[in-house]
Amino acid sequence: MSEHDVFLADCPARTTLDLVADTWSVVVVFGLGGGPQRYSDLRDRIGGISKKMLTQTLRKLERNDLVERRALATAPPGVEYRLTSLGQSLLGPVSALARWAEEHAEELADDDRA
């Protein structure tokens, strides 16, 4: 049990949830679940994400120690991202949410969505 509580507006748990409970963070962390990825490969893999949004999402995750960035000594120079151990701990919940979306997409698409 944690002393933190997502139901409390000013609790660090709420701030932490805010940080990861958005589509791009979920998709990026899920996408790094298989191992390190180059920026360009991530961008190819994640349909519909702009360079700006991918960069912002990676920076946010990096700043919060969920992802680490490594410059590659390649020509041309490349950059690789991987999950930290904290990021790995988030992979389970995030994968469960992404898989739920994949498994139930059909049921939700049948509804009249506004």
Residues that bind a copy of itself (CB under 8 A): 2, 4-23, 25-27, 30-31, 45-48, 63-65, 86, 89-90, 92-94, 96-109, 111-114
CA-atom Rg of the chain in angstroms: 16
Q: How far is the CB of 77 from a copy of itself (least distance, A)?
A: 26
CA-closest candidate to residue 29, choices 105, 101, 104, 89: 89
Question: CB-wise, 53 or 79, nearer to a copy of itself?
Answer: 53
Nearer to a copy of itself, 9 or 73 (CB): 9
Q: How far is the CB of 27 from a copy of itself (least distance, A)?
A: 6
The distance of closest approach from Cβ of residue 69 to a copy of itself in the complex, given in angstroms and rounded to an integer, is 15
Q: Nearest-CA neighbor of 83 among 75, 53, 93?
A: 93
User: Is the CB of 83 or the CB of 90 nearer to a copy of itself?
Assistant: 90
Identify whether 76 is preceded by a cis peptide bond (ω within 30 of 0): yes
Largest CA distance in the chain: 51
